Structure 1
Amino acid sequence: MCYDVNAQLDSQLKRAMRDADEHAIKEIKEKMLRETDLPLFHVTGFQHPKMFIYTNESPNYPTVSQWGLVPSWARDKKDIWNKTLNARGETIFEKNSFKKSAKDKRCIICIDGFYEHHHQGKETVPYYISRKDKKPISLAGLWNEWTDRETGEVLNTFSIVTTEGNPMMAEIHNNPKLKGPRMPVILPDELEDEWLAEYKDELDQKKLEELLKSYPESGMTAHTVGKLRGKNAVGNQPEATEYFEYDDVKVEY
């Protein structure tokens, strides 16, 4: 699963910066940044933060979107968007909430890292996971525009696609209530554009499904951090990603 992330402006602008368009970057910072909830040192999807995403319709210029995909058929966002923070990659072309977006509305969410919880006896220990080379992480996502029938408000929303966890994530994300460890789909830099490619037929679907693989643990690093939940939670502060030691817990990968 992926319910908690760290997303800073420079990482969120990863794809926009590829073209080194200084005018566009300045415009984004001056006009669009105020529409987001950035910076996000620690945020949970259940807060439905507003972030930048890159859609198949605008692959290099970000769109402001809110976490928790609301499909077009939904009558009320509150009834569904807590259930659509993540989309299981194995079923995105089948599930009613995601299948239209899987074909026509795919996106990339650039973040610094994400958090997962490890179960150690009665204690739950949070880990912060990032790329070993410290570069931004590009997550595969789905998006949709939803119109509130009562107010006319148009809401852009997204979901993060998940897949089977790699061996490192299997150790960290060991929730006994879940059916096997999960992790977000992290796209290698050279494959980002393939996730945003046009969908025309079942062959294209197979190409997309081939991208929904576990990112190799050799390219990732993880360490324990302070509590993310409850009265002692660090909150949305820079310290959220800092190393915190727990007794009898493996601390680094």
Structure 2
Amino acid sequence: MCYDVNAQLSAQLKRALRDGNEQMIKEIKERMVRDTDLPLFHVSGFQHPKMFIYTSESPNVPVVSQWGLIPDWAHDKTEIWNKTLNARGETIFEKNSFKTSAKEKRCIICIDGFYEHHHHGKETIPYYISRKDKKPISLAGLWNEWSDPETGETLHTFSIVTTEGNSMMGEIHNNPKLKGPRMPVILPDELEDEWLAECKDMLDQKKLEELLKPYPQTEMTAHTVGKLRGKHAVGNQPEATDYFEYEGVKEEY
């Protein structure tokens, strides 16, 4: 599962910065960022924030997209996009909501880190999870551009692909109502471009499926943070990622 993230402009520019195109970076910072909801210290996918993503059509220049993929066949966005914040990697090439995007419209979402909830008795304890080296995380995603048949409104939307959780996520993401721990698909830096590569046949599809595996626990870190939901929630503030102590739970990984 991946419903809560921290995404700052510096992380979202990860792939754009690789090219060293100073003029393009300046345009993104001065003009394009106005169309996003950045900065996002804590945001829930259910808020459908506007973020930068890198698509198979624009692999190095970000485009503004809204969290919650809307497939072409949808008649009303409100009926579908709370259900498509995440896409299970095991079924993206089969499920009606995602199969077209899985074959033709994959993307990368660069973030600083993500949040997950741990069930401890009757309480849920939020953790903030990031890379140990503090570098931006590149998430595998799917995207689509959808036109509202009634209003003509066009929305660029995306979903985050998930996979089986590693051992650390198994301890944190212990929701008894779910079938096993989940985590977003984190792409190693050297494999990002493979996720955006053209998918022409079943052999290409197989190569993509091989990327949908848990990220090594040894390269990740996590710590408890303040409440993300309810009246005591920190909100979209820098303090959202700050360490917060809870009695009786493991505080750091």
| Both proteins in one fold, TM over 0.5 | yes
1:164 deviates by 0.1
Q: Which amino acid aligns with 1:228?
A: L
**Is 2:9 the counterpart of 1:9?**
yes
1:61 deviates by 0.1
1:30 deviates by 1.4
Q: Which amino acid aligns with 2:165?
A: G
Q: Secondary structure at the match of 1:214?
A: coil
**Is 2:61 the counterpart of 1:61?**
yes
Tell me the TM-score normalised to structure 2 length. 1.00
Cα distance in 2 between the residues matched to 1:147 and 1:38: 24
Spell out, residue by residue over 1:40-87, the C-alpha distance to the aligned partner (whole angstroms, 9 max, x if none).
000000000000000000000000000000000000000000000000
Cα distance in 2 between the residues matched to 1:250 and 1:149: 50
**Is 2:48 the counterpart of 1:48?**
yes
2:188 aligned residue = 188
Q: Secondary structure at the match of 2:31?
A: helix
What pairs with 1:53-202 in structure 2 (closer than 5 Å)? 53-202=53-202
Q: Which amino acid aligns with 2:3?
A: Y
After superposing on structure 2, the runs of 4+ consecutive aligned residues of structure 1 that deviate more than 3 Å are none
Cα distance in 1 between the residues matched to 2:56 and 2:49: 21
Q: Secondary structure at the match of 1:110?
A: strand
1:28 deviates by 0.8
Cα distance in 1 between the residues matched to 2:104 and 2:122: 43
Q: Secondary structure at the match of 1:18?
A: helix
Cα distance in 1 between the residues matched to 2:5 and 2:191: 22
**Is 2:203 the counterpart of 1:203?**
yes
1:16 deviates by 0.2
Matched-pair identity in %: 84
Q: Which amino acid aligns with 1:153?
A: E
Cα distance in 2 between the residues matched to 1:199 and 1:85: 23
1:29 deviates by 1.1
1:132 deviates by 0.2
Cα distance in 2 between the residues matched to 1:90 and 1:149: 31
Q: Which amino acid aligns with 2:96?
A: N
2:238 aligned residue = 238
Unaligned runs of 5+ in 2: none
Cα distance in 2 between the residues matched to 1:32 and 1:173: 35
1:31 deviates by 1.4
1:143 deviates by 0.1
Tell me the TM-score normalised to structure 1 length. 1.00
Spell out, residue by residue over 1:121-175, the C-alpha distance to the aligned partner (whole angstroms, 9 max, x if none).
1110000000000000000000000001111111000000000000000000000
Q: Which amino acid aligns with 2:123?
A: E
Cα distance in 2 between the residues matched to 1:14 and 1:151: 35
Q: Which amino acid aligns with 1:71?
A: P
Q: Secondary structure at the match of 2:186?
A: coil
